[in-house]
Amino acid sequence: MNEDYKHTDLTGEIINRFYKVYNTLGYGFLEKVYEKALKYELEKFGLLVERQKPINVFYETELVGEYFADLLVENQVIIELKAAETICEKHKNQLVNYLKATEIEVGLLLNFGKKPEIKRKIFSNKNKEK
CATH of 3-127, one of 3.30.1380, 2.60.120, 3.30.70, 3.40.1350: 3.40.1350
Q: Greatest CA separation found in the chain?
A: 43
Rounded CA separation 43/41 (Å): 6
Cβ 88 vs Cβ 64: under 8 Å = no
Is residue 50 predicted with pLDDT exceeding 90?
Answer: yes
Is residue 17 predicted with pLDDT exceeding 50?
Answer: yes
Rounded CA separation 41/49 (Å): 10
Report the side by side order of strands in the sheet with 106-112: 49-59, 62-73, 77-82, 106-112, 116-122
Q: What's the pLDDT score for residue 85?
A: 92
Domain residue ranges of the chain, discontinuous segments joined by +: 3-127
Note if the pTM is more than 0.95. Answer: no
Query: For residue 28, how many other CB atoms are within 10 A of its CB?
Result: 10
Nearest alpha-carbon partner for 17 in 69, 71, 86: 71
Is residue 125 predicted with pLDDT exceeding 80?
Answer: no
Confidence of residue 98 (pLDDT cuts 50, 70, 90): confident
